[in-house]
Structure 1
Amino acid sequence: MADQSISPGEGGGIEGAIIRTIFLLLLSASGSILALDFREEISRAWDEGGEQVTRVVIQPPSRTDQERPYFPKAMPVISGAESPRMPGLAEKPTPEMIANRMSFYLGSNGDASAIGRIEPGSAADFEKFLDHDGRSAKTIWLLSPGGSVPDAISMGRSVRKRRLDTMVANGGYCASSCPLAFAGGVQRLAGKHALIGVHQVSAIAKGTESWGDGISAAQQISARCVEYLVSMGVDPESWIKGMQTPKERLYIFRSEELQALKITTGLAKT
């Protein structure tokens, strides 16, 4: 799961090491606890009836109330907002599309959709799409509950390398690792009622690894995420918000936060 290298001009080298150190110090000071889950626990949590494949109506975040339940399979929408229209689809996306492995669709005028879970191998699927059916794409519209962090970062780097823009539509949903892919856009736009949120990184224990090994792995992943976000021009405080939020919850950014933390570069007109 090796990432592409980051040049010094993109936040790597000494700057990256400094950012990593600052982040880990802030993380330690905040008292955030990184989640460590065993594979069976993750599978059970994701397959239980509580994570139904459905449309879920939630209230928009406010300054004093920004956490919402995390839905890895459902499609949340803000009360009063409609499900988003996505390029390349004749109809509105369904919850089943959100719950399945990410698929890609080419629309008109260079707009393309990336809809579904980011799973191991999704970054390779994305590259194939951009090399073939999506070679005329200029803006990637994301609708995803997230998933694989390494794949999300790889997708974001592909977006930046190709000088593409990213979009989360009005009423759209980009959660967990999805904002990492979104951060790759040269221009990053979001609709007024877009739901963009983050939470803690989870590490899966393997074989004889100890809990300490798992926590160390989660810390390393978090540091890579921050280093990557800095290289994309995003304020690292955005990921600290995630590290302070339990994995079963989601910290939803308000519109003004998205701009202040440079997660977005502007507000979408649609």
Structure 2
Amino acid sequence: MRSGDALSGAWRALARADDGVLMRSAFYALLVTAAIFLVVDIREFANEAAGSGDEYGPARDPMTDQPLLPPAVTDGKPQDAPVAPKTDATALRQPIRFELAAGGILEARGTIDPGSADRFRTEIEARGEYVKVVSLDSPGGAVNDALAISALIREKKLTTRVRTGALCASSCPLVMAGGILREAEKDAVIGVHQVFNGGTTRPTAEEAMAGAQATTARLARHLDAMGIAPGLWFHALETPPDRLYYLSEAELKEFRLVTAPPPPAVARKKT
């Protein structure tokens, strides 16, 4: 994060510290400071007063307002993904769909659009206790829906999984965090970046400041409640919205976004 470079060293040092009351207090104090820097760094930041502009999703082409995979950059070069996602980009741009597969696996593929949390709840209620695993393949999308899906996953004590070659980026890791067990197969592509406004509404400086502080605290609180280490959110804060920070296998375990090894890969047949 350009104007936040002075905080980066302190954030990383704090992330390596032992968990405890002091660490949590200092962490949330830093988040408030970070929110101020985000107002400067994040172009077109989302805020509560702007209505539906609360996007934490993939970078968008300003000419078409369509998500781009991988994120577009305004200058410099994006960090290369460890492997190329296998899912066709056109499918990932579509509103997220939930399809039941064999073995109690609910496949969730596409962009997390407003209203997707309601569709997810309907799907879970219709399937009763059959669903055990939510398999994610998404470039991210609307924050509120991602948080609601994540909370329902935790309520139902479901496992979340990112398959080999699947993408889980932007707000998708928020959904993944809800899993009572969280799994990533080899060559799963998982990445984070800053919150940004994917809508057309332009907030004032005061609105952006209020939105930055509220959103930063809300997301950090959710990740903390899900048992995710603070370092994950630090990397998101430090990565501009037109890039992705791709998490290594070691980081997925360090930040506790992955809690269990996935089972051996098996043929997946839709029911």
State the TM bucket, normalised to the shorter chain. Answer: 0.7 to 0.9
Counterparts of residues 55-74 of structure 1 (less than 5 Å):
68=79
Note if contact 2:60-2:198 (Cα within 8 Å) is conserved in structure 1.
no
Letter in 1 for 2:79: R
Note if contact 1:106-1:134 (Cα within 8 Å) is conserved in structure 2.
no
Q: 1:147 to 1:104 in 2, by over 3 A?
A: same
**Partner residue of 1:35?**
42
Letter in 1 for 2:61: W
Letter in 2 for 1:257: E
Q: Which has the higher contact order (CA 8 A, sep 6+)?
A: 2
The alpha carbon displacement at 1:250 in A equals 0.3
In the alignment, which of 185, 207, 211 is matched to residue 217 of structure 1?
211
The alpha carbon displacement at 1:158 in A equals 0.3
Note if contact 2:60-2:68 (Cα within 8 Å) is conserved in structure 1.
no
Structure 2 Cα separation of the partners of residues 251 and 23 of structure 1: 19
Per the normalisation by structure 2, the TM-score is 0.72
Structure 2 Cα separation of the partners of residues 206 and 265 of structure 1: 38
Structure 1 Cα separation of the partners of residues 60 and 210 of structure 2: 23
RMSD: 3.5
Note if contact 1:36-1:204 (Cα within 8 Å) is conserved in structure 2.
no
Note if contact 1:34-1:200 (Cα within 8 Å) is conserved in structure 2.
no
**Partner residue of 1:196?**
190
Counterparts of residues 107-186 of structure 1 (less than 5 Å):
107-133=101-127, 135-186=129-180
The alpha carbon displacement at 1:108 in A equals 1.1
Point out where structure 2 has 5 or more consecutive residues left out of the alignment: 1-22, 47-54, 71-76, 266-271
Note if contact 2:35-2:209 (Cα within 8 Å) is conserved in structure 1.
no
**Partner residue of 1:21?**
29
Point out where structure 1 has 5 or more consecutive residues left out of the alignment: 1-14, 57-65, 70-75, 84-92
Moved over 2 A (4+): 15-25, 31-34, 44-54, 66-69, 93-96, 203-209, 266-270
The number of equivalent residue pairs is 226
Note if contact 1:203-1:217 (Cα within 8 Å) is conserved in structure 2.
no
- Greater fraction helix: 2
Per the normalisation by structure 1, the TM-score is 0.72
In the alignment, which of 80, 83, 92 is matched to residue 78 of structure 1?
83
Aligned partner of residue 216 in structure 1, secondary structure: helix
Q: Does 1:249 align with 2:246?
A: no
Letter in 2 for 1:35: I
Structure 1 Cα separation of the partners of residues 45 and 240 of structure 2: 16
Structure 2 Cα separation of the partners of residues 204 and 170 of structure 1: 28
The alpha carbon displacement at 1:136 in A equals 1.3
**Partner residue of 1:46?**
61
The alpha carbon displacement at 1:24 in A equals 2.6
Letter in 2 for 1:46: D
Letter in 1 for 2:102: S
C-alpha deviations, 1:47-90, integer Å up to 9, x for none?
Answer: 64797878x7xxxxxxxxx9637xxxxxx7815xx72xxxxxxx
